[in-house]
Structure 1
């Protein structure tokens, strides 16, 4: 692979600018593909221009001036044999004034608008033309770039790369024949220099065969890298745990409920993984309230019965404490000692916890990110359970995994369902289990979307619900720009609610409170001493109060789909009929309207996650998992789902039969084949 520094025509400043785009080699340049295209293959006469269309016009400058009212602008008039066109520049350099002097012959490209003197173009691209200036023969690509690197320099660099770079096929021809895809070389040439008679809409939408060829190559590289990582993990040793003979059955006998068939199926999958000699890396997905924690507890007991320790890590202290209390109630009768470790503990409690973890006396350790700090030493960590895994970075999960020797098994839990296409691509290196049914007796949640103008009716609804013996949440708006502003809003809302409901006990919980204060308020609410809880989105994950049957979410239009679904899941955890009211401000954007429609129509987390993927794209859904995962630049999981299926099918065959060719393919597409998922 040729490095850019080896290409004589490339200057140091050019190489430095290309590095800002993440391009270090000729292959990187070849795969730096256009954002869009402009058609400079023919010149349009002024009289044939159409409003709103982009066109290229050639003519002579017959008037040029800098005006100062209403604002500074460079105005020039271009004339051809059929009429005149005004050119307007609001930002310009002295060199542009010189280039557009009266008498200059220029070729301009831009969007046609209605102006004061007829048709005009604002900030068109301009080129001086001479007698021998030829019109372009192919469409002109427009590339993603950075400040200091113009389109002309980028096009020239890519043209050189196309002449010099190696564009051989990395994989056997039958891989592409099966999908009827063109060659790598033909695809690159067709995308960097498309023929003027190509379907421009298909080209811009990336649905031509040439786009599909490169999208397939990229998806295949991602699948191959994930499978290699998966295989490598299977070559690492891990402790083997025999199935539990006593503790799990003792726990199940003590429970006031029976496991659903989905929980039993998933528990068996995990039990089987833990008997293997390589580390489990399983993602346990289940919608809000589907009972993931008890399944994780069964896995923990299998590990402990074999004499090893278990760590359970949660992203917030509220959630970690809830797990701790639940585990205490389940495991204390079984004489299992549990340690509790968070960042806000006093020194004495922390020292005692660290001592019991190091000695092995604590069989289960529950906590927040404090678990993976250096001072924490496990005697023999056999299983790490990570709740809401997408909240933790790759390095944090890796740090916890490194607490065990040999490598501990890892169970990741997520109440944010992962759409099938994401699961097949970005999570292809994990085994995935899904709890796809809710425990019986849960009441369905009714969702209502209400304008803020009807606030008084909603307040009355809250009053009635609380006076009937139920409890309610009032969730304050998400204000991303300012945590201080969000805090002020929460405090204001709390004061308003106390004034509005003098007969009710109202509590407040928000992210800036000390963990002990938060926990005290949550304990009061759980015990039923508070009837209404005013909260920010800190209650989004894991809070479990079965008596809470009403939730009001203010400014619901500001929140993402998965967040709304998580919040809504805090009610409907008991047998009482539950309602979630989404308050919105008038004048909804199209995206906000689409989000609220999805959440109103569905209670199914997977349907909601799929819609969220379509609205927001994979980047935000993946969250911090991005670091360490090769992100897709060309392929689109929704558009190219057929290619993803084909890549998934083909990856195993290629790894088995063509290992050398696979390495070449990864070298081309992953810059280094080692750029793999670490955790």
Structure 2
């Protein structure tokens, strides 16, 4: 809404004023008249249909009936006083009941006259009635029969209702706003786009979303406004990608040299999967264009993302550049360092680890080697982005579990060189296609959708609390084979004290079942000092303890190939993606691994769906799609920090087809008119000038 009338403060709208404006800002974040018009109804009361009395039942949201008022009787006393009407049509009769405004209703309602009654049916003693129906006198001489519209219903709050801003109050404001500024609002989409995609105009869409005359009008308005919202998100993302490609020159990696070839031919522990080869080819092409690469690689735990990242870093080294890898936790950084060092040996290139625990003496050595250019690969945590860390020539950056880093943290790595390094961001959290198109629309996306040969699928089962003795027996059998077991408890911020008690009670239970000296147990949770946590982790990693009792601190960054059993307590309290991440902690060795989901006997519908999904499939992308349907986009992968998913009307779960249509429309526009120089795209230029392509990669990746 570029129009000045749309950005007029809401306090200036007739019927609002300073007090109502303040509560609208506080409760609904509505600051302008334009904001109000984009506050859409969440449902509609369908007044376009009439029901016969015999069709009316208590499960209906509302019923509209044309009938005759047969009698009117005042019953009861004091608080129990009520007005009861017998209402009849040609199929039967029912009661209409009022508990308020009885004197006024007795005067205004006419026995023997025809009325249109509307309200929510309820059942009592087998009889259906309507309490406090809306009544409209029916005159069959008029051409219009009643209020045949779709009435909007708006979300409200207790504070708003105190200012008479319930759904009817908001309806009145919407009507006032439309009367005041609708005709001045300009169409933001080009005419050719409206014709091609059969979209109604903007003014008509706003009018019909708030006050639709028919279901057809409403559907046309919804489709138009969803398309527009998704179209402009994609326009900004793809324009930003286009500008980044033009603006940021990239290091050209045109050599495949000794480091890469030695590793590939002599050190690679297993053949690359087809998916790994495909992604490496995409990275090779990207890094040889002379433009900066921004690529997201997603793949399940164990799919081989780290090997792809390592080979990409070796490519940088062969072309005379340094590389670094940033991980969200010290444990994960240490594991990357240990794994990569073991793969490379001592003769391919130099690798160092930099974390908060690195000694001052070692830091000085690392800083010096980086600036001299004698250190090839630096692996670390947030310590990598400190101002003291200066590279001679950084050319390639890998960010693992990218959603765990803040915007500014990632951007600092970009600034470590005058020419921004190529960026490879990795996530083991599979992202549904619709979410990826919206969250990461200006990144190139690669998917590693194969597991290395020889990996056995993890067997997942669901047990209720009354089956716990079977689980203990199974744990003993696996430990007797020399295996190790994780037992994970939830730890949710709202009830940390209660959950910690659960964990401690669970620990006591396990200590009774698995006593010293035959069994040893590690315990790790987020409340422990870092040193104690690392000590307990290392005991488990070294095989000194058989059971690891933990909270979700082990969700990311624990790699113990000998651990073959993951038991998740109160599993119904976890989100699907978190359950999938935890399951990925096992299945890293050659032996068969198991995931046991423990739950109480009472499960919500959503809880049952989550656990059934986990048992049914290990496909991370299928799980992510179910998770998106259950939770919505705002909760997945830290998407709320991006700011671009604050949609007014579109829904990524149900609007996949419209999203694809909108994205393809943008792609076609840029293909035909890369600079948006054609006159027909003037409205798009005006939109970008107002809103700007202000979503940059480091803000949303």
Q: Which moved more, 1:222-231 or 1:652-661?
A: 652-661
Checking the alignment, whether the CA contact within 8 Å between 1:339 and 1:357 is kept in structure 2 is no
* SS of residue paired to 1:552: strand
Structure 1 residue aligned with 2:259: 247
What is the CA–CA distance in structure 2 between the aligned matches of 1:13 and 1:577, rounded to whole Å?
Answer: 65
**1:477–1:304: structure 2 CA closer, same or farther, 3 Å change rule?**
same
1:142-291 pair list within 5 angstroms: 142-145=153-156, 147-148=159-160, 149-163=165-179, 164-165=181-182, 166-195=184-213, 198=215, 208-242=219-253, 243-252=255-264, 253-291=266-304
Structure 2 residue aligned with 1:71: none
Deviation at 1:363, TM superposition (A): 3.4
Checking the alignment, whether the CA contact within 8 Å between 1:487 and 1:512 is kept in structure 2 is no
* SS of residue paired to 1:541: coil
Structure 2 residue aligned with 1:28: 35
What is the CA–CA distance in structure 2 between the aligned matches of 1:104 and 1:261, rounded to whole Å?
Answer: 81
**1:308–1:553: structure 2 CA closer, same or farther, 3 Å change rule?**
same
- The reply on whether 1:113 has 2:130 as its aligned counterpart is no
What is the CA–CA distance in structure 1 between the aligned matches of 2:691 and 2:555, rounded to whole Å?
Answer: 39
1:270-669 pair list within 5 angstroms: 270-331=283-344, 333-334=346-347, 336-343=349-356, 357=370, 360-374=373-387, 376-502=389-515, 503-624=518-639, 626-655=641-670, 656-657=672-673, 664-665=683-684
**1:265–1:55: structure 2 CA closer, same or farther, 3 Å change rule?**
closer
What is the CA–CA distance in structure 1 between the aligned matches of 2:583 and 2:440, rounded to whole Å?
Answer: 26
- The alignment covers a number of residue pairs equal to 656
Checking the alignment, whether the CA contact within 8 Å between 1:77 and 1:84 is kept in structure 2 is no
What is the CA–CA distance in structure 1 between the aligned matches of 2:472 and 2:366, rounded to whole Å?
Answer: 45
Q: Which moved more, 1:99-108 or 1:141-150?
A: 99-108
* SS of residue paired to 2:561: coil
* SS of residue paired to 2:512: helix
Aligned-residue CA RMSD (Å) = 3.8
Deviation at 1:519, TM superposition (A): 2.7
Deviation at 1:349, TM superposition (A): 5.5
What is the CA–CA distance in structure 2 between the aligned matches of 1:370 and 1:178, rounded to whole Å?
Answer: 52
What is the CA–CA distance in structure 2 between the aligned matches of 1:399 and 1:17, rounded to whole Å?
Answer: 39
What is the CA–CA distance in structure 2 between the aligned matches of 1:462 and 1:86, rounded to whole Å?
Answer: 63
- The reply on whether 1:5 has 2:9 as its aligned counterpart is yes
**1:603–1:84: structure 2 CA closer, same or farther, 3 Å change rule?**
closer
* SS of residue paired to 2:215: coil
What is the CA–CA distance in structure 2 between the aligned matches of 1:417 and 1:577, rounded to whole Å?
Answer: 23
**1:651–1:367: structure 2 CA closer, same or farther, 3 Å change rule?**
same
What is the CA–CA distance in structure 1 between the aligned matches of 2:198 and 2:610, rounded to whole Å?
Answer: 38
- Structure 2 runs not aligned, ≥5 long: 89-93, 110-115, 140-144
Checking the alignment, whether the CA contact within 8 Å between 1:29 and 1:158 is kept in structure 2 is yes
What is the CA–CA distance in structure 2 between the aligned matches of 1:610 and 1:48, rounded to whole Å?
Answer: 38
What is the CA–CA distance in structure 2 between the aligned matches of 1:370 and 1:334, rounded to whole Å?
Answer: 26
**1:505–1:50: structure 2 CA closer, same or farther, 3 Å change rule?**
closer
Deviation at 1:270, TM superposition (A): 1.5
Q: Which moved more, 1:507-516 or 1:337-346?
A: 337-346
What is the CA–CA distance in structure 1 between the aligned matches of 2:193 and 2:586, rounded to whole Å?
Answer: 51
Q: Give per-residue Cα distances to partners, 1:203-231, cap 9 Å, x unaligned.
A: 6xxxx233112211222111111111111
Structure 1 residue aligned with 2:142: none
Checking the alignment, whether the CA contact within 8 Å between 1:4 and 1:15 is kept in structure 2 is no
What is the CA–CA distance in structure 2 between the aligned matches of 1:348 and 1:105, rounded to whole Å?
Answer: 91
What is the CA–CA distance in structure 1 between the aligned matches of 2:300 and 2:431, rounded to whole Å?
Answer: 10
Deviation at 1:671, TM superposition (A): 7.4
What is the CA–CA distance in structure 1 between the aligned matches of 2:259 and 2:656, rounded to whole Å?
Answer: 44
Checking the alignment, whether the CA contact within 8 Å between 1:262 and 1:436 is kept in structure 2 is yes
**1:98–1:280: structure 2 CA closer, same or farther, 3 Å change rule?**
same
What is the CA–CA distance in structure 2 between the aligned matches of 1:480 and 1:297, rounded to whole Å?
Answer: 36
What is the CA–CA distance in structure 1 between the aligned matches of 2:388 and 2:86, rounded to whole Å?
Answer: 78
Q: Which moved more, 1:509-518 or 1:578-587?
A: 509-518
* SS of residue paired to 2:174: helix
